[in-house]
A and B are shown apart, each in its own frame.
Chain A
Amino acid sequence: NAGVTQTPKFRVLKTGQSMTLLCAQDMNHEYMYWYRQDPGMGLRLIHYSVGEGTTAKGEVPDGYNVSRLKKQNFLLGLESAAPSQTSVYFCASSYGTEREQFFGPGTRLTVL
């Protein structure tokens, strides 16, 4: 039982490049989330999903897209990376919004 895994762990991009972050969970959770963590800002929700094939915007969705084609996977895409997207990205999953969220180990992204 791996829980929530994230790929890759580290990535450096140049401004304007694109990339996809992969999140996978093996707990059969309906809900999945993408957050970014910046110093002094806590965690901010980017996008989330309440089930396979669904996505919804969070607090800071601009510049990101997501897809949930399979229940166990939640992809976060950056189409044209900007230095302001330098951050640590966390994926999480849960059975419901008031249930415990399980977090992945994070992806540290640097955009030059």
Chain B
Amino acid sequence: GDSVTQMEGPVTLSEEAFLTINCTYTATGYPSLFWYVQYPGEGLQLLLKATKADDKGSNKGFEATYRKETTSFHLEKGSVQVSDSAVYFCALSHRNTPLVFGKGTRLSVIA
């Protein structure tokens, strides 16, 4: 079945550092790929998505590119802020199939 593997955390960075959170997937066909973010005490919210190969999703300074050849969708941000501290989830879905989530990566940004 479909699965998502993302790097284990926690990840601790200083403010203004470069962020990469790795995400790879196993799936048949061409799923849609997502990054969700969960701030402390809240539910998840969509950060960005990509629906086909080579698409780049972007939002709030975060970017991820759908790489079919490496089955990856790594999340990047050039300069993190303390307010980016959260848990980040990579996920995939096919048409008519519910989202499959990775286990999440906790990011802590220190001033």
CB–CB A42/B43 < 8 A: no
Interface-facing stretch out of A14-22, A66-74, A77-85, A96-104:
A96-104
- Cβ A106 vs Cβ B43 within 8 A: yes
User: Are A103 and B49 within 8 A (Cβ)?
Assistant: no
Bound CA–CA A57/B46 (angstroms): 24
Distance of A27 from chain B, by nearest CB (Å): 14
Chain A residues numbered 45-60 whose CB sits less than 8 Å from any CB in chain B: 45, 48, 58
Known: A90-B44, A103-B44. A42 touches B101 (CB 8 A): yes
**Which 3 interchain pairs have the tightest Cβ spacing?**
A103-B43, A42-B103, A98-B32
Interface pair B51/A40, CB less than 8 Å apart: no
Instruction: Tell me the B residues contacting A by CB distance below 8 Å.
Output: 32, 36, 41-46, 49, 51, 89, 93-99, 101-104
Decide: A97 near B43, CB < 8 A? Known: A45-B98, A48-B98.
Answer: no
Partner pick for B104 among A42, A90, A101, A105, CB 8 A cutoff: A42
Number of A-B residue pairs at CB separation under 8 A: 51
Closest Cβ–Cβ distance, residue A109 to chain B (whole Å): 15
A42 with B89, Cβ < 8 A, contacts A33-B98, A48-B98, A97-B97 known = yes
Whole-angstrom CA separation of A11 from B43 in the bound complex: 17
Produce 1/0 per residue, A84-98, CB < 8 A to B.
000000101000111
- For B95, give the chain A residue with the smallest CB separation: A98
A108 closest partner in B (C-beta): B41
Interface centre among B42, B43, B102 (most CB of A within 10 A): B43
- Besides the contacts A101-B99, A103-B45, A104-B43, what 20 more A-B pairs have beta carbons closer than 8 Å? A40-B103, A42-B102, A42-B103, A43-B44, A43-B89, A43-B101, A43-B104, A45-B98, A45-B99, A90-B43, A92-B43, A92-B44, A97-B98, A98-B32, A98-B93, A100-B49, A101-B44, A102-B45, A103-B44, A105-B43
Question: When the two chains form the complex, which single residue of B45, B89, B95, B101 contacts A97, counting CB atoms closer than 8 Å?
Answer: B95
